[in-house]
């Protein structure tokens, strides 16, 4: 908690939960301590939101606070008689706390490979299902970022349920279990079941998660692990953006782009504890820490910390050179600067909420093939404000030509999906109740996780259709 600077957020939870100090210290603090011990200083993502050391814990505490704020405006359980609401209210509040704490613990851990050191030379991979690193006898650890093909999706869904049973005291589990509907919804939410998406726990936690990510992308730390492969798009844009006063400002953190790869994983090794300073030939490992907080009872001695500075980034990442296209984008070598500016605008708009997605009238939709940019409307919106190159006001005198320039630049980046006969525009039918209501056409960006992470769910009403005859900008 001290390392992540989240003490004030943790302390605020007692008031938001409405528990007396002794109840809070016995039922909430131990769960937070167990979670902190488990996640250590792992990041919430490789290069998107909360990517700094300790980002996973910070993100979790933020989501808890935001979810409890939203819970204040809810009468839970919904539809229950007044006497049941009074009896069950604290149980539902505690369930919101647990659901928010564990909501995303599986994904970042499944996306990482952590190597533990148990002695001077003995190292082995950490298996989260086998217990915390401290419980496994580790004294330090190394973080590696894995390839998407090697990530464990099953662990993403399984781990939150396992940790729920492991972290929450038995007495509290028994207390919660008196409300069968609550426990059923909570476990369904933690397991990522589709049915849980209709429940209030999923609703509150999802809204809180989105808000935490949005705030971090706009104003959060730009620190990330030293060898994270994915380079934020905003970092790429820093060096090449225009210097004029009316420039398009895209220096906010958050856009996610693929980085160079030299193998199956990219590792970050660190030393802050008892490990001696490393030379170029040896590895640094992060010491395993056990959190200690007042009111938690007896705790094991914490590992001593030495003044050796970890070789991880403690300051913003140096901007990547746009000229080194292969190092930051495996697709579309030599992507035009205007295309990078446009995608930065899209990413920033999604993060701030200015660009809506997956709803009627939205300019962005997520489909099985990738991220659909509705054409020509989204390109016209960009060009109206930032011009065809993203460096000034609109230049086209002919309204019909507005947006074609920036669309052409985006297509030259070769990030998009092509239809048969190299058609650049894909068409989708809007289907509701088995009826086709309308059509949407646009440019579909493949592998949207390069720019948006996490990728939102697909729009269920859009179905791929044969391309309609139209002019294709090339």
pLDDT at 50: 85
* Gap between the Cα atoms of 465 and 339, Å rounded: 26
Token pair 């970092």 is found at 235
Give the up-direction half-sphere exposure of residue 16: CA atoms within 13 A in the CB hemisphere: 23
- 71 CB-near residues (< 8 Å, 6+ apart): 92, 93, 96, 204
Nearest Cα neighbor of 43 from 169, 230, 206, 174 is 230
> What domains sit in the chain, N to C, each tagged with a CATH number?
7-134+148-221 (1.10.3210.40), 336-465 (no CATH)
**Neighbour order of strands in the sheet with 364-367:** 364-367, 370-374, 435-445, 426-432, 462-465
pLDDT at 394: 56
On whether the CB atoms of residues 191 and 177 are closer than 8 A, the answer is: no
Beta bridge partners of 373: 364, 443
- 369 CB-near residues (< 8 Å, 6+ apart): 417, 426, 444, 446, 464
pLDDT at 98: 98
pLDDT at 396: 52
CB count in 10 Å sphere of residue 279: 6
pLDDT at 141: 87
pLDDT at 37: 93
* Gap between the Cα atoms of 48 and 257, Å rounded: 9
* Gap between the Cα atoms of 410 and 387, Å rounded: 14
pLDDT at 284: 39
Q: Work out the angle at residue 370's Cα, subtended by the Cα atoms of residues 364 and 372, and round it to the nearest 5 degrees.
A: 25
347: exposed, middle or buried (Cβ count in 10 Å: 0-12, 13-18, 19+): buried
Per-residue confidence of the chain (474 residues) as pLDDT tens digits?
A: 888 889 999 999 999 999 999 999 999 999 999 999 999 999 988 877 888 889 999 999 999 999 999 998 788 888 888 877 888 889 999 999 999 999 988 876 777 888 888 877 678 899 898 899 999 888 888 888 876 655 555 667 788 999 999 999 999 999 999 999 999 999 999 998 888 888 999 999 999 999 998 888 887 777 766 556 665 554 554 444 443 333 333 333 333 333 333 334 444 443 323 222 233 333 335 566 655 544 443 333 232 232 222 222 222 222 222 222 233 344 435 688 889 889 988 988 887 778 889 888 899 999 999 999 999 999 999 998 888 887 766 555 567 788 999 999 999 999 999 988 889 999 999 988 888 888 999 999 998 888 887 788 888 899 998 655 544 444
Nearest Cα neighbor of 68 from 33, 39, 28 is 28
3-state secondary structure 341-375: HHHHHHHHHHHHCCCCECCCCCCEEEECCEEEEEC
The dihedral sign for the CA sequence 161, 291, 50, 320? negative
CB count in 10 Å sphere of residue 150: 11
The dihedral sign for the CA sequence 67, 69, 73, 77? positive
* Gap between the Cα atoms of 113 and 225, Å rounded: 14
pLDDT at 260: 31
**Helices within 72-146 (DSSP H only):** 82-101, 106-110
In order, the DSSP letters of 34-91 are: HHHHHHTT--SSSSSSS-STTHHHHHHHHHHHHHHHHHTT--SSTT--HHHHHHHHHH
SS3 250: coil
On whether the CB atoms of residues 147 and 264 are closer than 8 A, the answer is: yes
* Gap between the Cα atoms of 406 and 344, Å rounded: 13
């Amino acid at each position: 908690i001290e390392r992540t600077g989240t003490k004030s957020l943790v302390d605020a939870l007692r008031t938001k939960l409405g528990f007396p100090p002794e109840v809070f210290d016995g039922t909430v603090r131990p769960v937070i301590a167990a979670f902190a011990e488990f996640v250590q200083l792992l990041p919430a993502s490789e290069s998107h939101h909360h990517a700094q050391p300790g980002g996973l814990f910070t993100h979790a505490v933020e989501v808890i606070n935001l979810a409890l704020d939203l819970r204040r405006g809810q009468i839970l359980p919904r539809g229950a008689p007044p006497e049941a609401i009074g009896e069950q209210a604290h149980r539902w509040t505690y369930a919101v706390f647990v659901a928010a704490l564990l909501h995303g613990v599986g994904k970042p851990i499944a996306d990482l490979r952590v190597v533990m050191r148990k002695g001077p030379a003995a190292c082995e991979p950490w298996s989260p299902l086998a217990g915390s690193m401290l419980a496994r006898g580790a004294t330090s650890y190394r973080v590696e970022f894995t390839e998407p093909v090697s990530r464990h999706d099953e662990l993403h869904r399984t781990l939150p349920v396992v940790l729920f049973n492991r972290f929450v005291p038995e007495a509290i589990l028994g207390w919660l279990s008196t409300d069968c509907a609550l426990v059923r919804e909570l476990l369904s939410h933690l397991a990522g079941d589709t049915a849980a998406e209709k429940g209030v726990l999923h609703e509150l936690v999802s809204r809180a998660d989105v808000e935490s990510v949005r705030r971090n992308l706009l104003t959060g730390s730009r620190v990330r692990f030293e060898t994270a492969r994915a380079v934020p798009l905003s970092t790429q844009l820093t060096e090449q953006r225009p210097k004029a006063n009316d420039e398009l400002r895209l220096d906010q953190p958050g856009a996610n782009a693929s980085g160079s790869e030299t193998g199956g994983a990219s590792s970050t090794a660190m030393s802050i504890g008892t490990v001696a300073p490393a030379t170029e030939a040896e590895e640094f490992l992060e010491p395993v820490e056990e959190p200690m907080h007042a009111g938690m009872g007896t705790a094991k001695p914490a590992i001593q910390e030495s003044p050796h500075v970890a070789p991880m980034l403690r300051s913003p990442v140096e901007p990547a050179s746009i000229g080194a296209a292969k190092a930051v984008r495996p697709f579309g070598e030599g992507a035009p600067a205007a295309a990078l500016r446009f995608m930065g605008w899209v990413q920033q708009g999604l993060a701030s909420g200015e660009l809506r997605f997956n709803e009627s009238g939205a300019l962005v939709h997520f489909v099985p093939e990738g991220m659909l940019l509705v054409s020509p409307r989204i390109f016209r919106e960009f060009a109206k404000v930032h011009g065809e190159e993203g460096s000034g006001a609109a230049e086209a005198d002919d309204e019909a030509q507005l947006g074609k320039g920036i669309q052409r630049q985006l297509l030259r980046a070769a990030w998009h999906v092509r239809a048969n006969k190299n058609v650049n525009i894909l068409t989708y039918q809007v289907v509701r109740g088995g009826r086709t209501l309308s059509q949407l056409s646009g440019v579909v960006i493949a592998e949207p996780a390069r720019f948006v992470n996490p990728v939102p769910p697909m729009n269920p009403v859009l179905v791929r259709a044969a391309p309609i005859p139209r002019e294709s900008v090339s």
